[in-house]
Amino acid sequence: MGSNPIVVSGSSTNRTTRPNNNKNKNNNDPCVSSSAFVFLIGSFIILGSICGLYVRFLMTPNVHAGLSAIGCKEDDEGSWSIGVFYGDSPFSLKPIEDTNIWRNESAAWPVANPVITCASASVAGFSSNFVADPFLYVQGDVLYMFFETKNSITMQGDIGVARSTDKGASWEQLGIALDEDWHLSYPYVFDYNGNIYMMPEGRAKGQLRLYRAVKFPMEWTLEKIIMKKPLVDSFIIPHDGKYWLFGSDHRGIGTEYNGQLEIWYSTSPLGPWKPHKKNPIYNTDKSMGARNGGRPFLFDGYLYRVGQDDGETYGRRIRLFKVEVLTTNVFKEVEVPLGLKASIKGRNAWNGARSHHLDVQRLSSGEWIGVTDGDRVPSGDASRRFNLGCASVLGVAALVILFGMLLGAVRGLVPLSWCPHDFGKRSDASLDWEQSNLISSRMRLFCSHLNRASSSLRTRIKPNTCSGSSVLALTFLVIVVLMCTGVKYIYGGSGAHEAYPLHGQYSQFTLLTMTYDARLWNLKMYVKHYSRCSSVREVVVVWNKGQPPELSEFDSAVPVRIRVEEKNSLNNRFKVDPSIKTRSVLELDDDIMMPCDDVERGFKVWREHPERIVGFYPRLANGSPLKYRAESHARKHNGYNMILTGAAFIDSKMAFEMYWSKEAAAGREIVDNLFNCEDVLLNFLYANASSSKTVEYVKPAWAIDTSKFSGVAISGNTQTHYALRSSCLEKFSEMYGSISNRKSEFNHRMDGWDV
């Protein structure tokens, strides 16, 4: 450009050659020398380090991480599991934990829902991502549960079966009862003429099939193809001398998906079947409960149909309908309340987001039992989180470039080498095309404008000024937050703080705190947070002084009970309380805030060692005389012999009775006189009662002392506080023997929870 063309001779055709002005432009590698490259690499290292720390200390671990190789993999359909309920009628069902069933074998005091999960199936030998659609079959005192289990390898549904001999408190996984080459679910099981039949959904095959048990419950054979229709969630019931088949066919043009229902009738479950004259019975919005959601049942002479509300998300909730008229010409039903209360613990509850199936039956004892499925996340949650995570990462990339421009490390938004006019050596035809092509010229203009904008941005912001530095700091903060958010969405799972099962079973504990009127602000925040932890059954507030608050003042997901004490004494913390229904009690000061996951981990460790004090704040009392020191002293000597009960799990019966025994009377008097050392006393009592290990430490990911913000810390003077406790150590050693030789080391657990 600006030079005359050179005519080269000596060839059969004359040729015009353009000079290559870029000959030496790329002699040096720009990536090696450019500040932009160094800046981007540095940014990658810094952000990667920050995200590593975030994952290490703040991200909730996956409860099923050890099972990921064989099952419990993240699935876009959800993480369904199954729970058991009991009641005097189908309308008074309560979860199994409310019946206070205890199982020593699995350290479940009491047993809590869910009773069957993907882990139950996977550990038993058949990999499963989730379990759903439970149906019961009752044989005397033995319960069989058939359910859909999504195979983690084939990614299709199979029919699993489990057996219970204790009314549903524990379940033995028997294996896969039915496996076809297509997806199976909704295993409706019933009796007819002395045989046991199963009619699962298999719409992928395009048929509704009936199977007969050859060797119940594990061997089945195809009895008959009832219909060559891909019916969804179908059941057969006898009513008024006929058999009725309810199901949904979503194939038709104009059919509302999950909002359609059809009925057929026959004189036998084997057919032939005739359609109801009002078919389709429903073709309405998917939230109206048209699609079946479990087994229908009879109660007080009325037939009830279970439907599912798929409005907000698939399987959002169960709806119950009372059938008023069912004839070959007319069908009429009205919705009635079911009575099952939805959890308000959100994702921390096994059924916090949705529940779409119910099978309720009456036992020979007259009691009703129900099984239902539940999920903690809505449908499609995995894809939604992945998309949000990718969007966050892209946002980070854009902000990093912006940050580099403000620093001057990145000179332009678009490198000149990306523009069409600077692609290096090209043919004459290419150059001629670029000159005449409108798109190419506009792209050159767009690149130029972008780079000019980046230069003017740095000129306006002026990083060296106070306002410019503030913009840089704010931009960096947004980058870090957005990056951690992206990592959390992509790798952090559902974000739920799930309970940790032990021997395949879950349990619950009571949360107990001691406080008074000046700390009400702490207490309200405390109750709102911890009541939503998965395994918390009840919050007990020991009110030592002042006017107690009204229960309506608390935002709680579980019952709150305020126990008003006559005397302001620290001994009240361990008072015997017959109203506590769980064996485990978490003594937790109202000024300590930590993640629910830390609480759940501590609860699992206590269930492994219920004879110990299991907590989050270790101390080492040693020396002559014994001296009370901070946790750093225990770390320095790699051991501890006390756990502070301001944040510790204990056996309510054993600990409370021990503390209020005659042997502990003198110790309690010291606690009252000093208004201190109640936790030190309990540690001595535990050590005096056993020759084996009596304390166990669990490291929290993080913990915050909220009393620092409210200014109502009980022990504000650390030096005086430690001196009082050192005095207690000496006195309790004289009474109950020294604990200096009862040292436990850190980092002895295989799971690394005590590092």
* CATH code for the domain in which residue 548 is found: 3.90.550.10
**What CATH number has the domain bearing residue 178?**
2.115.10.20
Taking residues 189-199, what's their average pLDDT? 97
Q: What distances in angstroms separate CA 568 from CA 294, 514, 515, 549, one per listed residue?
A: 54, 10, 10, 17
Q: What is the CA angle 51-477-449, rounded to 5?
A: 110
**Whether 263 and 198 share a structural domain:** yes
In this structure, the answer to whether residues 242 and 314 fall within a common structural domain is yes
pLDDT at 22 over 50: no
Instruction: Look at residues 331, 364, 379 and tell me which one is the last residue of a structural domain.
Output: 379
Q: What is the per-residue pLDDT for 188?
A: 98
| Cross-strand pairs, 305 | 321
Taking the CB of residue 104, how many other CB atoms lie within 10 A of it?
A: 9
Neighbours of 26 (CB within 10 A): 11
555 falls within a domain: yes
Kindly state whether residues 472 and 538 are assigned to the same domain: no
61 within a domain of the structure (yes/no): no
User: Same domain for 391 and 356?
Assistant: no
User: Any long-range contacts for 312-316 (C-beta under 8 Å, 24+ apart)?
Assistant: 312/287, 312/378, 313/353, 313/354, 313/378, 313/379, 313/380, 314/258, 314/354, 314/356, 314/379, 315/78, 315/354, 315/355, 315/356, 315/357, 315/375, 315/379, 316/287, 316/354, 316/356, 316/378
pLDDT at 24: 43
12 pLDDT more than 70: no
pLDDT above 50: residue 80: yes
160, 171 Cβ separation under 8 angstroms: no
pLDDT of residue 717: 79
Distance CA 130, CA 82 (A): 9
| Same-domain pairing of 199 and 335 | yes
Give me the number of domains the chain comprises. 3
Same domain for 467 and 349, yes or no, is no
Residue 708 counted as domain residue? yes
**146 falls within a domain:** yes
Question: Could you count the other beta carbons within 10 Å of the beta carbon of residue 217?
Answer: 22
- Whether 426 has a pLDDT exceeding 60, the answer reads no
Q: Environment class of residue 364 by beta-carbon count within 10 Å: exposed (0-12), middle (13-18) or buried (19+)?
A: exposed
Q: Are the C-beta atoms of 306 and 292 separated by less than 8 Å?
A: yes
Whether residue 327 contacts residue 289, with contact meaning beta carbons closer than 8 Å, is answered with: no
pLDDT value at residue 60: 74
Pair (320, 401) in one structural domain: no
Q: What is the DSSP string of 348-398?
A: GSTTSSB---EEEEE-TTS-EEEEEEEBSS-TTHHHHHHHHHHHHHHHHHH
Residue 32: its pLDDT value, please? 37
In which domain, by residue range, is 157 found? 80-379
* Model confidence at 578: pLDDT above 80: yes
Residues 526 and 398 in one domain: no
Q: Concatenate the DSSP letters of all residues of 171-184 into one string.
A: -EEEEEEE--SS--
User: Domain for residue 419, yes or no?
Assistant: no
Give pLDDT, residue 565: 96
41 found inside a domain: no
Are 478 and 582 in a shared domain?
Answer: no
Which pLDDT value is given to residue 19?
46
* In a shared domain, residues 489 and 608: no
What pLDDT is attached to residue 711? 60
Residues annotated as part of the active site: 679
- Do 517 and 491 share a domain, yes or no? no
* Mean pLDDT across the chain: 89
As a whole number, mean pLDDT of residues 321-348 equals 93
Q: Return the biggest CA–CA distance within the chain.
A: 119
Query: Is residue 73 scored above 50 in pLDDT?
Result: yes
- Asked if pLDDT for residue 11 goes beyond 50, the answer is no
Cite the DSSP H helix spans in 416-511.
Answer: 428-436, 438-461, 466-491
Residue 369 lies in a domain: yes
pLDDT at 132 (0 to 100): 98
* For the chain, percent of residues with pLDDT exceeding 70: 88
Query: Of 470, 496, 522, at which residue does a domain stop?
Result: 496
Q: What is the pLDDT of residues 480-497, one digit of tens each?
A: 999 999 999 998 888 889
What 3 state SS string does 738-754 have? CCCCCCECCCCCCCCCC
Look at residues 467, 496, 525 and tell me which one is the last residue of a structural domain: 496
For residues 586 and 684, membership in a common domain is answered with yes
| Integer-rounded Cα radius of gyration of the chain | 34
Residue 250 lies in a domain: yes
Percent of the chain with pLDDT over 90: 75
